C-alpha cells in the first residue's frame, strides 16, 4: 500500500507583481522567465506548480530566506 507523505508549507506569500514565494523559491506565471532548478535531495528538475488554476514556474531564489 502506498504511504502518504505529509508535508508542511513553511512560507507562502504573493508579491505585488503577480509572482509568489513558496519555501524560498520565487515563482512566476510567465514561462519565459523560468530558470532551471534541480532538487539537491533527489536530483529531479523543478518544473512548475499549479495554484488556483494558474501554473507557476521557478524564476529565482528568495534572498530573504534565512538559512
Residues written for the chain: 67
Percent of residues, the chain, with pLDDT higher than 90 = 46
DSSP class of 4 = P
In whole angstroms, how far apart are CA 54 and each of 5, 18, 22, 57?
A: 24, 11, 14, 10
Lookup result for grid cell 509572482? 19
- Give residue 31's pLDDT: 94
Query: Mean pLDDT across the stretch 2-27?
Result: 78
Q: Could you give the residue ranges of the DSSP H alpha helices within the chain?
A: none
Helices (H) and strands (E) in the chain — how many of each? 0, 7
- Predicted pLDDT at 46: 85
Amino acid at each position: 500500500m502506498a504511504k502518504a507523505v505529509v508535508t508542511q508549507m513553511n512560507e507562502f506569500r504573493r508579491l505585488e507583481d503577480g509572482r509568489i514565494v513558496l519555501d524560498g523559491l520565487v515563482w512566476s506565471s510567465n514561462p519565459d522567465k523560468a530558470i532551471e532548478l534541480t532538487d539537491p535531495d533527489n536530483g529531479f528538475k523543478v518544473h512548475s506548480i499549479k495554484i488556483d488554476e494558474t501554473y507557476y514556474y521557478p524564476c529565482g531564489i528568495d534572498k530573504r530566506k534565512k538559512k
